[in-house]
Amino acid sequence: MKAYVFPGQGAQFSGMGKDLYDKSDLAKSMFSKANEILGFDIQKTMFEGTDEELKQTKVTQPAIFLHSTILAACLGDSFQPDMVAGHSLGEISALVANKTLRFEDGLKLVYKRALAMQKACEAEPSTMAAILGLEDDVVEKICSEVDGIVVAANYNCPGQLVISGAVPAVEEACARLTEAGAKRAMILQVGGAFHSPLMEPAREELAAAIEATEFSTPVCPVYQNVNAKAVSDPEEIQRNLIAQLTAPVRWTQIMNQMIAEGASEVIEVGPGKVLQGLFKKVDRTFPCSSAEI
């Protein structure tokens, strides 16, 4: 069974998507439509922008979404997913790929998500940190003992968990986790505390947009971030997507579940190879590849 997976923020690079544009009339028309919807020339930023320009949340999120969804569309009849999943932002790309969302609606949601998250980041100094080399339950326990908001945010793979919260609480947690034996406790260069309670204003803002968007029955199940389970019911998918901004990304659990439920190969759709690397941390022999047209 083929599992198609879609990356999240951090996979961007200057020049992303240009090969698709050059090779495909469908890609050209989708980029043109994206520029209309967003009201600015995102294609120019993706193809020619600096790393600094591409790092802005309001650019990064739609850029990665566009790279992934346009690539999936360009695969044509060869794109036959048995299951899909996306890491954080990538979940919306996955929902367009499996026909739960229309491309236009997915892009509008991604842009609203990016702007709402940016606003929430500016409201309070917050950050994230990668913790390497500790068991998940040790990280969870220490975070729960720190004063202030700091929570497990991204379960990326065994031995790699990202925490998220207010700056002083994250710094305190990093110090305690290092004492507890973490190989690394590294503050990340991110805009703020994604997938933590500090994203509640963004969740509320995005909830209204998600509730006003039509969700269709997908062509295959999506393994969602909030519960790591295969979901095909449009209303349940919608509820889980609303919960996603303040809930952790259970990617380790998603990978294990996909493999347990019959995934025989994983194909990453979008920029980079981050998700393939995470699957290899679960099973070094697992067949992984990048989608190409």
Residues recognised as catalytic? 88, 195
Helix (H, G, I), strand (E, B) or coil at 211: helix
Rounded CA separation 186/174 (Å):
7
State the Cα–Cα distance between residues 138 and 122, nearest whole angstrom: 30
Q: Name residue, tokens 């009339």.
A: 25
Are 104 and 36 in contact by the 8 Å Cβ rule? The answer is no
How far apart CA 218 and CA 178 sit, in angstroms, is: 44
Q: Are 229 and 31 in contact (CB under 8 A)?
A: no
Judge contact between 6 and 87, C-beta under 8 A.
yes
Provide the 3-class DSSP secondary structure of residue 254. Answer: helix
What's the burial of 123, exposed, middle or buried (CB within 10 Å: 0-12/13-18/19+)?
Answer: exposed
Sheet holding 222-223, edge to edge: 230-231, 222-223, 83-86, 2-6, 265-268, 288-290
Residue type, 240: N
CB atoms within 10 A of CB 33: 14
Q: Which amino acid is at 212?
A: A
